[in-house]
Amino acid sequence: MITSSAPHRRTLPAVLAAAALALAALLVPAAPAFAHDELVSSDPSADEVLDALPAQITLTYSADVLASDGATVIQVTDAAGTSLTDGAPTVSGTAVTQALAGTASGAVTVVWRVVSSDGHPIDGTFAFTVPAAPTPTETPTPTATASTTPAPEPTVTVTMTAAPTENTAEASPLPWILLALALVVVIGAVVWILLTRGRAGSSGDGSAGTAGR
């Protein structure tokens, strides 16, 4: 019995066509996903260790980011969950910049969300590290120690003041008394001489008168 191969020949192209349609159906929904933009780089980069919190972070994408209001969101928080962003992010072509403020130590987490050039939102997250500031070392306060050297004794200076010279003339009235006695004696002598001469003269005058008679 001879079997015809014609039906098998007609079935093979149909199977190949069905397989091609199935493959196309799988590839078509996935095509837009390959068109989405993606984050190319960041400054600081993921897992970078910095000396201090930078003034800003910059995210660079593979195509221009749509700059519509509220479409771009950048959240930056420290290890305690405190926000470090300062104002709203700015979009310039493929770059998105977010200003930062404050201080941080430990892991700093960045969560971003933008709208790619095809209109689809994309998001992601990464982290960098800011080491904790070193704790200042306390300087020990010097302890005052008692000095074993005895303090010098105060020197007492004694000044000898000469006693004032006694004025003997004022202290004793004896010289004045002797002077007064001398004056009295002199005056008495002068009076006695005068009286003696007067008496002698009177006696002479009387004797001469009596002789005349």
Q: What is the pLDDT of residues 107-118, one digit of tens each?
A: 999 999 999 988
Give the residue-averaged pLDDT of 68-72. 86
Q: Are 113 and 103 spatial neighbours (Cβ–Cβ below 8 Å)?
A: no
The pLDDT value recorded for residue 15 is: 57
| Token duo for residue 52 | 């201090």
The pLDDT value recorded for residue 33 is: 44
Kindly tell me if the per-residue pLDDT of 21 is higher than 60: yes
Confidence band, pLDDT 50/70/90 cuts, at residue 140: low
Q: What share of the chain is helix, strand, coil (3-state, %, to 5)?
A: 35, 25, 45
Q: Are 65 and 96 spatial neighbours (Cβ–Cβ below 8 Å)?
A: yes
Kindly tell me if the per-residue pLDDT of 155 is higher than 60: yes
Confidence band, pLDDT 50/70/90 cuts, at residue 196: confident
pLDDT tens readout for residues 166-181: 554 455 777 778 888 8
What's the distance, Cα to Cα, between the start and end of the chain in Å? 254
User: pTM of the predicted model, to two decimals?
Assistant: 0.49
Number of CB atoms found within 10 A of residue 53's CB? 19
More confident site: 75 or 10 = 75
Q: What is the mean pLDDT of the chain?
A: 77
